[in-house]
Amino acid sequence: MKLTEHFTLNEFTRSTTASRLKIDNRVPDELIANIQLTAIKLELVRIALGKPIVINSGYRCPALNARVGGVSTSAHTKGLAVDFYCSYGTPKQICQRLIDAGVQFDKLIQEHNQWVHIGFSPSNNRQIVLTAVKQGGKTVYVNGLV
Ligand SMILES: [Zn+2]
């Protein structure tokens, strides 16, 4: 199912972890509108970066989210966040570009300099920018891009 010009529903639901563990990661009907909103916002991300983006993790049903260590309140479980890669540059460069381009988001996270998490809100995008780093074996989130 095509959501927008460049994004399909399958890109939001495919998960190697879900396949391996036979977790049913289909999106419930009541969350389709959120996924649609996220796809529309991602088109703006794509324009800002000038390159295709590859969704690494989009929607996560509660079982999948728990399995990958996501917090239970994760925007992924609401269909309002994705983790992605883009050949534009490093995760830090991608985040900086999105900020400079004035892209609206609720939360933007540079994750361990490996990928970018971006989350959206249907009502109030807070423009929160964080960097995930390991401290003493635990992931902590520090303000801004570091
Ligand atoms: Zn994420």
Per-residue model confidence as pLDDT tens for the chain (146 residues): 999 999 999 999 999 999 999 999 999 999 999 999 999 999 999 999 999 999 999 999 999 999 998 888 999 999 999 999 999 999 999 999 999 999 999 999 999 989 999 999 999 999 999 999 999 988 899 999 99
Ligand 1 centroid, distance to 83 Cα (angstroms): 5
CB 86 within 8 A of CB 53: yes
CA distance 40 to 60: 19
Ligand 1 centroid, distance to 1 Cα (angstroms): 23
Ligand 1 centroid, distance to 14 Cα (angstroms): 14
Ligand 1 centroid, distance to 75 Cα (angstroms): 8
Tell me which CATH code domain 9-143 carries: 3.30.1380.10
Ligand 1 centroid, distance to 60 Cα (angstroms): 10
pLDDT at 20: 96
Ligand 1 centroid, distance to 112 Cα (angstroms): 12
Ligand 1 centroid, distance to 35 Cα (angstroms): 14
Domain borders along the chain are: 9-143
DSSP code string of 14-83: --HHHHHHT---PPPGGGHHHHHHHHHHHHHHHHHHTS-EEEEE----HHHHHHTT--TT-GGGGT-EEE
Ligand 1 centroid, distance to 76 Cα (angstroms): 7
pLDDT at 70: 87
